[in-house]
Structure 1
Amino acid sequence: MPRQNCCVRGGPSRAAWALTVLYGALVAVLLVGLPAPAALAGPSSSWEFAKVGLSGALYPSLMLNIAKMKLEMQHNDDELGDPNGLFGVSVVAPRAGAKAVVELVSTSPLVNPGRAEVVLARKGKKYMVYPFLTYADAILLNHQPIPTTMTARLWLDGVAQGERTARVVIASVNDCVHSFDDDDDYYDTDWLYAAYVNENHPAVQQILREALATGEVSSFSGYQADARGVRKQVKAVWQALRRRGIRYSSINRPSAKPEGVGVQHVRLLAEALATRQANCVEGSCLLASVFYKIGLDTSLVSLPEHMLVAVNLDPKGRQPLYLETTMLDDGSFEEAAESGGEQVAQALEQARKAAARKKAGKSTDDDDEEAVNFISIREMRQAGVLPIPDPGAGRAPWSPAK
């Protein structure tokens, strides 16, 4: 720098040259006392809003129940904050022990602001930080997709690092996520169907009154009756729903279906009864709601691409009864029980063969689809998976059968 200053056309005086040299030396001394540019405090570009729900979608029924099931998807030492989080930022630690604060806000009032305060232990290591999010109660009343903008803000050692935004779709509460991929892991969330079983819905009491009117039983006493008596109670409920004219409907298209997410639209009880339509999931949830209400041990049986309802005819579970609920409109109770039993037996045999092939190292890609899941309503309630509130429950559109 001094050499450049003295090369002025015409040449400076000796005094001016000496002053310039002295100034340059002083600047050099001051610069030595300053930290290197990389260590200066200020915004960092080494972070991203890297995890945005399930491929840009937020599913209310899943988000409100995932913590109760304690999946703890974020379990590595480089994943910090909410262990069940699905929204997070990636950040490179500027130093060992750096303190990071991540805040997350949404333009929708359905999503409350979230926050996480963590320590980034190793310098240069990339971490994922997931804020703890909560949701407004009204999110359970949402039945259509709502676009929103999520904004993530980051502070490192108290210095603001800017913000990142992402577009997100808040899906309908009717969208039931039964499986999804998260990074390299696959999660089976069939248990979420239990949230669509609603034993406390006022329509259940109406159905029980109609079941008594069939004459099959004079009361619902649960397991105070023997297996034969329990079977009659189950049949009475079946007959009552048959009289309502419940028809099979294959509608199951969700409001949001990104890649890597298995999701299905499930009608709540009031809608299924009001429209007199139900697919295999909705029919199973409807029957399970009534069976569980009268104290029977009830399960949803998730088969490959299908669902049945199971009820134990004795309290020890030695006499399970399986019902094919899509036969409500064109089959007798006995035919539905026979079909259900045959399907479960066949599915269990296929699952057994698939497990044997896997053990022998001869499994195929299709073998992973052969699983049979029994979703116990009692166990799910104990785990904290509760019925989704039904906005149609108070309006009684589910009028009695004529």
Structure 2
Amino acid sequence: MVPLATRNFLRSVNTAVRIHRNMALAAMFSLACACVSAAQAMSVEVALTPAGDVFPALELSQSRSAASGADAAGSGLLRIRFGDLQSAVQVRLTISTPGLRAPSVIDAWVESGTILRPRLEWDSLALRDLRSIRPQVMRVSVVAKGMRPIEQKLRIRVHPLDEALYFVRDGDARIDLGWAFAAWVDPYDPVVDELIELAGLDGTSPVSPPENFSDRIGIARALWVALEKHGLRYADEGAGISQGPEIYSQRVRLLSSTWDDRVANCLDGSVLIASALERLGIGSFLVLVPGHAFVGFYTDSDKREAEFLETTFLGHQAPVGNQAQAETSQRIRRRAVAGFEAARKAGRTRYRSAAPRLDGKHRPDYALIDISMARAYGIMPLAVGRQDGNAYAPAVPDVEPLRKFPVKLSP
């Protein structure tokens, strides 16, 4: 899948250029806002992709930068284009709407054809309880010396943080945003601390992942058993929210919701397990197939061999009601270990079936999203529920050449 148009990604993968070209086909809101003076006239066009819909999770997943002003570019889904200028002018662009930490302000010199891509600093704590699409107004203002201010009010629809936009079709344009699924993988979410502690593992010391296969399998098994102890169950529910023809989005519960509700669809369970494995230094990835997802993790330090877990087995054969309350820790463990092995077997089978289509030619239906590669592309954790929203800034490696997937199954 094609990552979002982040600064790091633009330098390394030239398919991002196609994303920005596709933005030119986005629906335009309130065209030709003009201000006129004796010397200059200026028009401002505001483009939003998808038209009228805003997904704060996309912006929150973009890596933070020390850059400011015009250099602090956002995802590119919101674009401000200036026109009808005879010469360059200095402007102040301000964008405000409920849910932002502060209005987005850019001071820049612009000329006809200049496009600004403002970054919207959403407040994840303010949006974490949003459960449905919220209609609201976005205000766009442009001020230039000697010109009458331009002010524009756009009617937008803000989507909750548990909705992942992964594909947009706009006319002939195709915008693949699937790498953003990695944003829901957050190794330093408080939930991961609880899971690792329940598993009896050490997540406080510097990460030094085990080198051998059996130890890595043991860590994954311990996490699975802990999830069973916590009472997490797979929920056979449709995760798709919008399936076209223009917007394709899917529900991905925030880690806190999955943990508190003790229920997970296939993708919820996959991002939770991947978060814990990443915290413990074991590289992981998400595998997307039509209508389904499962999780994989590397079993060797060279990232050439992997195992897979079919998270639909979470809570498999678990008793309910009074029987569940009477279940002993020993019985839970026996059941969980058996479920883990069944999940491995099913995961391997599912991967063998999907592997021929994980070649990059069958997107967005089939994709393998390597979490470390997503980080290199600039996709960061959402950091929802942590006051220090920017505290987790993982070391971003140089983008390695895209390795040929699929990886090999472990022996």
For normalisation by structure 2, the TM-score amounts to: 0.66
Structure 1 residues 321-352: Cα deviation after superposition (integer angstroms, max 9, x where no partner)? 01111111227222211221122222122355
- Aligned residues between the structures: 321
Q: Choose from 38, 41, 58 the match for 2:38.
A: 41
Aligned to 1:20: none
Q: Could you say if the C-alpha distance between residues 198 and 168 of structure 1 is closer, same or farther in structure 2, counting changes exceeding 3 Å?
A: same
CA deviation after TM superposition for structure 1 residue 193, in Å: 1.8
Range moving further from structure 2, 229-238 or 107-116: 107-116
Could you tell me how far apart the structure 2 residues matched to 1:190 and 1:277 are?
24
Contact 2:43 2:84 (C-alpha < 8 Å) held by counterparts:
no
Aligned to 2:174: 186
Could you tell me how far apart the structure 2 residues matched to 1:236 and 1:81 are?
42
CA deviation after TM superposition for structure 1 residue 89, in Å: 3.9
Counterparts in 2 of 1:322-361, with a 5 A limit? 322-330=308-316, 332-351=339-358
Q: Could you say if the C-alpha distance between residues 135 and 270 of structure 1 is closer, same or farther in structure 2, counting changes exceeding 3 Å?
A: closer
Counterparts in 2 of 1:95-244, with a 5 A limit? 95=86, 97-99=87-89, 101=91, 103-108=93-98, 110=100, 112-120=103-111, 128-136=115-123, 138-139=125-126, 141-144=128-131, 145-155=133-143, 158-160=146-148, 162-181=150-169, 185-212=173-200, 223-224=209-210, 226-244=212-230
Could you tell me how far apart the structure 2 residues matched to 1:133 and 1:102 are?
15
Contact 2:284 2:295 (C-alpha < 8 Å) held by counterparts:
yes
Structure 1 residues 192-222: Cα deviation after superposition (integer angstroms, max 9, x where no partner)? 2222122223333433343349xxxxxxx96
Structure 1 residues 327-382: Cα deviation after superposition (integer angstroms, max 9, x where no partner)? 11227222211221122222122355x95xxxxxxxxxxx5555422322x33445
CA deviation after TM superposition for structure 1 residue 386, in Å: 3.4
CA deviation after TM superposition for structure 1 residue 383, in Å: 4.8
Q: Are 1:281 and 2:267 matched, yes or no?
A: yes
CA deviation after TM superposition for structure 1 residue 108, in Å: 1.9
Range moving further from structure 2, 256-265 or 145-154: 256-265
CA deviation after TM superposition for structure 1 residue 51, in Å: 1.0
Code of the residue aligned with 1:244 in structure 2: it is H
Q: Are 1:92 and 2:87 matched, yes or no?
A: no
SS of alignment partner, residue 159 of structure 1: coil
Contact 1:174 1:266 (C-alpha < 8 Å) held by counterparts:
yes
Contact 1:47 1:89 (C-alpha < 8 Å) held by counterparts:
no
Aligned to 2:305: 319
Could you tell me how far apart the structure 1 residues matched to 2:193 and 2:150 are?
55
Could you tell me how far apart the structure 2 residues matched to 1:83 and 1:271 are?
27
RMSD (Å), alpha carbons:
3.8
Structure 1 residues 87-131: Cα deviation after superposition (integer angstroms, max 9, x where no partner)? 334443242x2426362333425251333534325xxxx664444
SS of alignment partner, residue 332 of structure 1: helix
Aligned to 1:9: none
Which one has a larger percent helix, Structure 1 or Structure 2?
1
Q: Could you say if the C-alpha distance between residues 368 and 258 of structure 1 is closer, same or farther in structure 2, counting changes exceeding 3 Å?
A: closer
Could you tell me how far apart the structure 2 residues matched to 1:320 and 1:265 are?
26
CA deviation after TM superposition for structure 1 residue 288, in Å: 1.0
Q: Choose from 373, 381, 387 the match for 1:379.
A: 373
Code of the residue aligned with 1:339 in structure 2: it is A
Structure 2 portions without partners, runs of 5+: 1-35, 66-70, 202-206, 317-337, 388-411
Aligned to 1:55: 51
Range moving further from structure 2, 242-251 or 167-176: 242-251
CA deviation after TM superposition for structure 1 residue 253, in Å: 5.7
Q: Could you say if the C-alpha distance between residues 109 and 270 of structure 1 is closer, same or farther in structure 2, counting changes exceeding 3 Å?
A: closer
Q: Are 1:64 and 2:60 matched, yes or no?
A: yes
Could you tell me how far apart the structure 1 residues matched to 2:187 and 2:216 are?
18
SS of alignment partner, residue 50 of structure 2: coil
Code of the residue aligned with 2:111 in structure 1: it is L
Structure 1 portions without partners, runs of 5+: 1-38, 70-79, 214-220, 356-366, 394-402
Q: Are 1:389 and 2:380 matched, yes or no?
A: no
Could you tell me how far apart the structure 2 residues matched to 1:174 and 1:87 are?
20
Percent of residue pairs identical: 23
CA deviation after TM superposition for structure 1 residue 258, in Å: 8.5
For normalisation by structure 1, the TM-score amounts to: 0.67
Task: Give the structure with higher Rg (CA).
Answer: 1
Could you tell me how far apart the structure 2 residues matched to 1:263 and 1:237 are?
29
Aligned to 2:33: none
Could you tell me how far apart the structure 2 residues matched to 1:137 and 1:232 are?
35
Q: Are 1:246 and 2:198 matched, yes or no?
A: no
Could you tell me how far apart the structure 2 residues matched to 1:130 and 1:186 are?
19
